Structure 1
Amino acid sequence: MSGTRRVTLLIQGKVQGVFFRESARIEATRLGLAGWVRNRSDGAVEAVVEGEPGMLEEFIRWSHRGPSQARVDSVGRTDSEATGEYSHFIVERTS
């Protein structure tokens, strides 16, 4: 796990009902990242992502735009140590 990091993202805007979660899963899988993404009851999308720092930064850049139907107003970010508890990236149910 040396060199891997974890980032928690809170993505706000028009991000639900626009294929954001599935698009995030596809992007994270393409980048070799692990974790999860879910809709929140407040209209935001939340993601916990682990992987190599360079790939995480690429995913974060993607999250600032999302899929073509989305309108991202802000992306909150919290960095932490990776736990290694995820082996792949999944879409979770709404919190």
Structure 2
Amino acid sequence: MFATFGLCVGWPDPATPASIKPRLSQEVVLHHERYGAFERSVGAIEAYDRLMERFYAKERMGVQGSWSRHSAARVESAQALRGRDRLRAALLSMGFGLR
């Protein structure tokens, strides 16, 4: 067995209100065989950084730095990947055929 995703099932506790994290706009994450997508997305990413800054403050998360900086830091080196760089090799060693 290999878990492929997690799913939470249930109802929110009305005594503990929570917010839904804003999502990055589709124009930033969906590209159809086009070059230059990043350049066209810069404004939307900057807007999302501002949106997330407000969300972090509202939720009292104490996040320092922008969402885009945190996202870039998660993939800037093999050490930052925290083992995710070895995921393909691990899956292949367990017999999962990947293309």
- Structure 1 length normalisation: TM-score? 0.32
* Larger helix proportion of the pair: 2
* Larger strand proportion of the pair: 1
- Structure 2 length normalisation: TM-score? 0.31
